Amino acid sequence: MITSKQRAYLRSLANNIDTILIIGKSGIGADTIKQADDALTARELIKAKVLETSPIPVREAAEKVSAETNSELVQVIGAKFVIYRKNDKEPKISLPKSSKK
């Protein structure tokens, strides 16, 4: 589970990444999940877009992809969402340390 500070950091990083996953009229199938899973392994942080033709709403798509890929939902904004999954073997992103109060 990522902290609110880490989530804010990931949101700032997401501003500079391209959308690499598109969910269209076919919705979310095994190929979509495989593409998301591969992208998360390679990049850790990905941005996806849900087209108007998609049969699934953006929030629902974000939650489904996140659950199916064991990733953290970072942000949903408009038709896009951002998810994160740490790669323990080859980390790409160094999250700020969580502070306990």
pLDDT digits (tens, 9 = 90+) for 62-72: 999 999 999 99
Q: Is residue 79 part of a domain?
A: yes
Q: Give me the CATH number covering residue 64.
A: 3.30.110.60
Domain coverage including residue 51: 4-84
Mean pLDDT, the chain, whole residue set: 94
Maximum Cα interatomic distance, the chain, rounded to a whole number of Å: 46
Asked if residue 101 has pLDDT above 70, the reply is: no
What is the model's pLDDT at position 99? 61
CA–CA separation, 66 and 74 (whole Å): 9
CB contact set of 49 (below 8 Å; sequence gap of 6+):
19, 21, 22, 23, 79, 80
In a domain, 92, yes or no: no
Determine the average pLDDT of the residues in 67-90.
Answer: 96
25 in a structural domain: yes
Domain membership flag for residue 18: yes
* Predicted confidence (pLDDT) per residue in 8-40, tens digit: 999 999 999 999 999 999 999 999 999 999 999
Residue 89 lies in a domain: no
In a domain, 99, yes or no: no
Domain annotation covers residue 91: no
Which residues is 46 bridged to in the sheet?
83
